[in-house]
Chains A and B, each alone.
Chain A
Amino acid sequence: GNSVTQMEGPVTLSEEAFLTINCTYTATGYPSLFWYVQYPGEGLQLLLKATKADDKGSNKGFEATYRKETTSFHLEKGSVQVSDSAVYFCALRGSSASKIIFGSGTRLSIRP
């Protein structure tokens, strides 16, 4: 079945550091891929998405590229801020209108 594996946290970085959170997936067909963010005490928000191979999703300075050859969708940001501290979830939806499969989440903490 479909599954998502993302790097374990917590990840702690200094402000203005470069961020990468790895995400790989297993799926049949052509899934859609997502990154969600959960700020402290809140529900999840969709951060970015990509629906086909080589698509790049981007939002708020974050980017992720759908790489079918490596079945990956790594999240990157060139210069993180304290306000980026949150839990980040990689997720996929199968090629039909199937439910969303979430990764286990990666907690990110940014030091001033």
Chain B
Amino acid sequence: DGGITQSPKYLFRKEGQNVTLSCEQNLNHDAMYWYRQDPGQGLRLIYYSQIVNDFQKGDIAEGYSVSREKKESFPLTVTSAQKNPTAFYLCASSRGDFTYEQYFGPGTRLTVT
């Protein structure tokens, strides 16, 4: 089955620690995205990558970092500089740029205390 995998489903961390969220896709998509979802708010774009070894900041990139060393993988690191890291994080992928349909993973809920 083709799809997007995010792991783990729930993640707990202490304040001041960096944490890396995994996103893997086997859809052979060129583009991948990270969104943040907070209660009562729409999704906000953190970072996106339209090709391997290249990525761009989205609307709320501060306190986050990404890498795109392989087409299948787009891990997101939430650093200690992110002031409010507790949120639901969604990864997505698409065949090409924003004109193509995005397919979403099941998400990771991160809680930082």
Contacts and interface: CB of A to CB of B under 8 A. Distances in A.
Interface string A43-86: 11110000000000000000000000000000000000000000
Contact of A42 (B40, B45, B98, B106): B106
Interface in B48-67: 48, 58-59
Given A44-B90, A46-B101, A97-B98, A105 B106 contact: no
A105 B40 CA distance: 7
Nearest to B41: A104
B4 interface: yes
A87 to B, nearest CB: 10
Q: How large is the interface on B (under 10, 10 to 19, 20 to 34, 35 or more residues)?
A: 20 to 34
Chain B interface, DSSP helix/strand/loop, else mixed: loop
Contacts of B42: 4, 89, 91, 101-105
A91 B37 CA distance: 14
B90 to A, nearest CB: 6
20 contacts: A42-B107, A43-B4, A43-B6, A44-B43, A44-B92, A45-B104, A46-B101, A89-B42, A93-B98, A97-B97, A97-B98, A97-B99, A98-B98, A99-B45, A99-B98, A102-B43, A104-B40, A105-B40, A105-B41, A105-B42
Given A43-B91, A43-B105, 11 more contacts: A42-B107, A43-B6, A43-B106, A89-B42, A91-B42, A98-B98, A100-B102, A102-B42, A102-B44, A104-B40, A105-B40
